[in-house]
Amino acid sequence: MTRIETWLPLAYRYQVLVALLFLGCPLINGQDKAQKVHVEAVAVTTVADGIDAGTGGLAVDRDGNLYTADFGWRLSNSRKGGDKVFKVTPDGKVSLFCRKMRGASGNYMDSNGYLYQSSIGGNFVSKISPKGAVTVVAKTGLKNPVGIALDKKGNLYVCNCGDNSILRITPGGKSRVFCKSDLLRCPNGITRAKDGTLYVCNFGNGDVLKISPRGKATRLATLPGGNNGHLTLFEGNLYVIARSDHRIYKVSLDGRATYFVGSGKRGNKDGAPGSCSLSLPNSLIASPDGKYLYFNETSPTSGDPNIL
């Protein structure tokens, strides 16, 4: 796993977790009057190597512990593994957090320390307690679910990769289609702004989309590589994984995309933003103190891109 240090500069890996350090940033959570900060990546540092899992989604708790989902070793349904979520401490210690998944993909940590986890191969969403107890909370309408976002009322917004839609699930488990659009091409990553706007990136192409609180989708930006991973919203900008481009991009909310970290050459090399190399990165999340952006990536640095 890799950590990006920020100057407001830094990144995170799966081998590999990369952490991005954001210097001088205010806390991410609980900031009603967030300070506007210009964020730049300073350095990329590997935090945890050799996790026996595929690169699923990432979440972080208030203590800075990371939760990385085991998607399985391949993109196909014949993938090995995919039933676990791992916990990674800030100093890189890896342990098994829970099992009972089927292709663990997107995840989201709520303010009470409960982790919501989607299973792309099982078509269900689980709620996991801070001690690792797993409860299935939603099944209806889910078709290869990936990314998850949560609003203040406890409603989940889930990317349905399998039918190109965004599903809304109430705390009671009732679901309905929130957004269905031709612009959605295997929606993968999702994040929610305070005003209710959703930002989604496609796995099926390089598009980053904006979805209004009423469910209308528009194209915000298109990134190189034609294959996006996940995204996160931090200090008024989106940070988006361009998976096949082996880079992370910064995208303003008016659609201006700029390079953030990664040389564009596939590899697992730590270092400065422009010279470090990433290998098919997938998910990313900022630390609670705003100093780091963590991401995961594959250990293999060449060969079949379907191997995670």
Q: Is 161 a residue whose pLDDT tops 60?
A: yes
Q: Which residue has the higher pLDDT, 85 or 5?
A: 85
Name the band, by pLDDT with cuts 50, 70 and 90, for residue 160. very high
| Gap between the Cα atoms of 230 and 189, Å rounded | 4
Q: Is 12 a residue whose pLDDT tops 70?
A: no
Q: Is 78 a residue whose pLDDT tops 70?
A: no
Closest CA to 68 of 91, 29, 95, 31: 95
pTM of the entire predicted model: 0.91
| Contact of 293 with 6, CB cutoff 8 Å | yes
pLDDT for the residue 44? 93
Name the band, by pLDDT with cuts 50, 70 and 90, for residue 75. confident
| Contact of 47 with 2, CB cutoff 8 Å | yes
Residue written as tokens 């829970």?
A: 98
Please give the average per-residue pLDDT across 287-293, as a whole number: 92
Name the band, by pLDDT with cuts 50, 70 and 90, for residue 6. low
Q: Is 9 a residue whose pLDDT tops 60?
A: no
Most confident stretch, 2-6, 11-15, 133-137? 133-137
Give φ, ψ of 146 to 5 degrees. -130, -105
Please give the average per-residue pLDDT across 293-305, as a whole number: 93
Q: Which residue has the higher pLDDT, 202 or 25?
A: 202
pLDDT for the residue 18? 52
pLDDT for the residue 307? 83
pLDDT for the residue 257? 96
pLDDT for the residue 3? 83
